[in-house]
A and B are shown apart, each in its own frame.
Chain A
């Protein structure tokens, strides 16, 4: 079974702190994604990556950056956390497919609260 592991299930941070959210997948997937999920807004794509050291902006990249130094690991960074970044963050991965994205697998999510 595919396993996508997010390092922290719950985090509480203060405004202005730097926050790292880590995601590791164990199935050699090329594609990795970071979403945030908010009530009434659904899932919104922050960043994605199709390969090591490669990143693409999603729909809401402002205030975030990412790092993909190894194929299995995709990190989301909040350089200076703000209260409007309080959310559930979901990491996902999939195999590359010439016919579009393959089946998407998600981690358990990281609930971030910024005070």
Chain B
């Protein structure tokens, strides 16, 4: 059974810092990995999708990497801003197109 872990569960950084969020998964037989952002009381917003054949994806200040063999992905956020404060979740798609979500990292960027 696929298990997805996100560490740390919570993170507080001052504005302007670069930061890395981690996602690890137990079964490397995945089709893709997706990073989402969730604001309190809202739905999930897709940030980046990495196919299993890819090593990384970039969108603006966000860069996500994937190391399928070691079961790890990182989300790098450059020059963090207070508006980046949210919960970040990763999800992997495995066999039978089943998605497994991590429990998220709650990020707070302080002024």
Which residues of A come within 8 Å of B, CB atoms?
Answer: 4, 6, 31, 40, 42-43, 45, 88, 90, 92, 97, 99-109, 111
Contacts and interface: CB of A to CB of B under 8 A. Distances in A.
Contacts, number: 55
A103 B97 contact: no
Contact of B31 (A42, A100, A109): A100
B99 A101 contact: yes
Contacts of A103: 34, 46, 49
Contact of A106 (B43, B51, B97): B43
Contacts of B52: 99
B41 A111 contact: yes
A43 B104 CA distance: 10
A101 B43 contact: no
A42 B42 contact: no
A101 B42 contact: no
A6 B42 CA distance: 11
B27 to A, nearest CB: 13
Interface string B34-58: 1010000111111001011000000
A88 B42 CA distance: 9
B5 to A, nearest CB: 11
Contacts of B49: 102-103
A45 B52 CA distance: 22
Contacts of B30: 100
Contacts of B63: none
Count chain A CB atoms within 10 A of each CB in B30, B43, B98, B102 and give the residue with the most: B43
A92 B34 CA distance: 14
Given A6-B43, A45-B99, A104-B34, 6 more contacts: A4-B43, A40-B103, A43-B91, A90-B44, A99-B32, A101-B32
B31 A101 contact: yes
Closest 5 CB pairs of A and B: A100-B31, A106-B43, A106-B44, A100-B93, A43-B101
